[in-house]
Chain A
Amino acid sequence: MDRRVQNLHTTLSGNPRELDDQIAFNAKVALRIISAVHQQYLPLLHAGSQRNEYLIHPSIERAVELFTEDSFELTLVPDFEYNYGFVGKEHFGSREIEQLEKHSDQNTKAALTALRDKSSLKRWITFLYFPVADRDSALNLCVLAHELGHFVDRAKEIYQKLLPIELDETSFDELVEARCKAAPFGIKPKPGDKQLTFETIFTKPGVQARCYLSCTEMLEKWIREIIADVLAVHAIGPASYFAFHDFLACVGAENVASSSHPASAFRLQLMLEELKETMGYMNSSNAINSVLADAMLRVQADASTDSYNDEARVVHKTIEKNLSSLLAKIRSVVSNYSFSAQKYQDSVPAVLDRLRSGIAPIEVFDAQLQAMVPASMVAILNAGWELYKTDVACFYDQFSADVPQMERLVNLNHLLFKAVEASEVFRRWK
């Protein structure tokens, strides 16, 4: 907005009346945009009309409220790319209104100031992006738990609490040495020429500083991913692992690290180890634990082949060295809400029984209360994944032979959507 107004001042400097009109017009547009950042206006962003996200939105909001006291507005945005993402703006509304105040007359300014001071203005404006292709898949949408993990990280400043983290000295020195010896970009020495090195152009401290900056930048991104992974796995248990695994399979992700994400196998292994060591999964031989244990073997084999170069090697070594202390600090945020193996055992089987017989598991019988109570969203999603991973043939068998398998799977997902939606209403109604 600020840049737009500056441009107007430049282009319309000779016409003050037109300038005022244009500023007023832009201010109105900006205000409308701010007020439109709301789930009700999602159709503006959405080419389709079937909006399953409306059904799960209230449950997601309630889940996030458990982790942060900050006020927030959360919008689910369908994306035509097959990708999940998170964008969060702190004090977005008040900052934008502040910009408008700078360019307003006295009357408007007073109204804008009053608007900025309103407590109804949310502290966080957040967007969760999900692929349109997954719109009908409650199972795949479990990846959103990871994106919500990013939000919780930002809102509770988890990353900042993990600092300081010292870079691994040995691998960092090796990186600096290698950079100093490397030929500068674009100049290839001929055989017999005197080797042109970085040191002939730059000093070693300069190279060190550049390496330090790039390594710490990458370290922050990787650790934020790890935070989101760990939060997601604690919040929704095995469903988070399965959804993430299937997402990687869908996009055909290679097991390589990037500047923003650690290698996939490393992340999957971390999630499985968290499930096993901290949350108590894989300690018995029931169906879901067997699936997880098998996955662990495969992921460990994949992770052992990971290779890291340059900055990624430094960052990987640094994380390896500090992993246990990092995880301990992250766990402290979610310890009260961790969906442990015990909670899984207490809540999922009853939900699974209903789902297996083709019934949307909206409510379950509570023996203590001797009444039906709403099923939890986490139990519903995990029951869905358990059924899909262990006994989906039993579910498919309820349909007549001419129903294609894909439609049966879509039907399973619709039952899950229905269960999440109706159980939330049931909970709030009471």
Chain B
Amino acid sequence: MITGQGNLPKRELTGAAVLSRETLMNRLKKDLIVSPILEPSQVGDGSVDISLGTRFIRSRPSRMTKIDFPKLDKDSVRDFQESVVVPFGDEYILHPRSFVLGCTFEFIALPLDICGFVLSRSSYGRAGLLIATATFVHPGWRGCLTLELENLGEVPIILQPLSSVGQLVLLNAAELAKQPKAKLIPVGPTFTTLDEDPRWKKIAALRPRNTLV
């Protein structure tokens, strides 16, 4: 139920709806976890501000000539990416047109009937910082969200752990029957696992065979 403004009548919502601050506060006391909430002002109408954590995965110069996802196992990922920890109070400098994986400082656990979207804060966006490309968060998801941080501007951007870089917009969703099994409960950014996609085998099977004419 939402309340309209002025003379507009009240409307029943049947589909997904962004959760109000009041609902969010209530759910945060029960089964929605965004932990820790350092300031009450982090919780707004429909969203919770999220901040940057201390762990990053950065790309480094390597002898890899290409990223071929079906052949990209864990060892070869580490040929061109590495984990770093930036302690609180320290900073990570993101150079123009460079890319780093970060994570949220907040640990998030969504109930089975709430889903979310990660959005950049517009102030950062205007400076050229993009924080997420894979923005949907499934109901029942747990962990620290991986943020894909990219500097689209012309000037280096200083990233500091705990800076409030984005927001998690929360909506109600059709309730899942049970908690989905986890691959991992991440507390930092995670390396790509695209090599595990079963689709690669099927794609390979469709490849035309060499035929002798």
Contacts and interface: CB of A to CB of B under 8 A. Distances in A.
Interface in A53-102: 54-55, 57-58
B85 A358 contact: no
Interface of B: 33, 35-38, 54, 82-85, 87-88, 90, 105, 107, 109, 142, 144, 162, 179, 181-188
B182 A425 contact: no
Contact of B88 (A50, A51, A407, A425): A425
Contacts of A39: 87
Contacts of B54: 54-55, 421
Given A374-B36, A399-B182, A425-B88, A359 B83 contact: no
Interface in A386-430: 398-401, 403, 407, 411, 414-415, 417-418, 421-423, 425-426, 429
- Residue among B33, B185, B188 with max Cβ neighbours from chain A (10 Å): B185
Contacts of A358: 109, 142, 182, 185
A51 B85 contact: yes
Nearest to A411: B185
B147 to A, nearest CB: 16
A52 B187 contact: no
B184 A418 contact: no
Contacts of B109: 358-359
Interface string A32-48: 00000001100000000
A49 B84 contact: yes
B100 to A, nearest CB: 13
A425 B36 contact: yes
A271 interface: no
A415 B90 CA distance: 23
Chain B binding site: helix, strand, loop or mixed by DSSP? loop
A51 B186 CA distance: 16
Contacts of B35: 359-360, 362-363, 372, 422
A150 B187 CA distance: 32
Which 3 residue pairs spanning A and B have beta carbons closest together?
A418-B187, A400-B181, A426-B36
Given A359-B109, A363-B35, A400-B181, A50 B83 contact: yes
Nearest to A53: B85
Contacts, number: 83
Contacts of A401: 181
Interface residues of A, number: 34
Contacts of A426: 36, 38
B85 A407 contact: no
A277 B162 CA distance: 44
A374 B37 CA distance: 11
- Residue among B36, B84, B181 with max Cβ neighbours from chain A (10 Å): B36
Nearest to A402: B183
A52 B85 contact: yes
Contacts of B36: 362-363, 372, 374, 422-423, 425-426
A414 B187 contact: yes
15 contacts: A40-B90, A57-B87, A58-B88, A358-B182, A359-B109, A363-B35, A374-B36, A399-B184, A407-B184, A415-B185, A415-B187, A418-B107, A425-B88, A426-B36, A429-B38
Contact of A360 (B82, B85, B184, B187): B187
Nearest to B161: A425
Interface in A330-380: 358-360, 362-363, 372, 374
Given A54-B85, A358-B142, A398-B179, 16 more contacts: A49-B85, A52-B85, A55-B85, A359-B107, A359-B109, A362-B107, A398-B181, A399-B184, A414-B185, A418-B144, A421-B54, A422-B36, A425-B38, A425-B105, A426-B36, A429-B38
Nearest to B179: A398
A417 B182 contact: no
Contacts of A422: 35-36, 105, 107
Interface in A1-49: 39-40, 49
Interface in A186-225: none
A417 B82 contact: no
B83 A403 contact: no
Contacts of A414: 185-188
A348 B49 CA distance: 29
A50 B107 contact: no
Given A374-B36, A421-B54, A425-B162, A359 B183 contact: no
A423 B37 CA distance: 11
A401 to B, nearest CB: 8
- Residue among B33, B87, B182, B186 with max Cβ neighbours from chain A (10 Å): B87
A421 B87 CA distance: 10
A400 B162 contact: no
- Residue among A39, A50, A360, A363 with max Cβ neighbours from chain B (10 Å): A360
B104 to A, nearest CB: 11
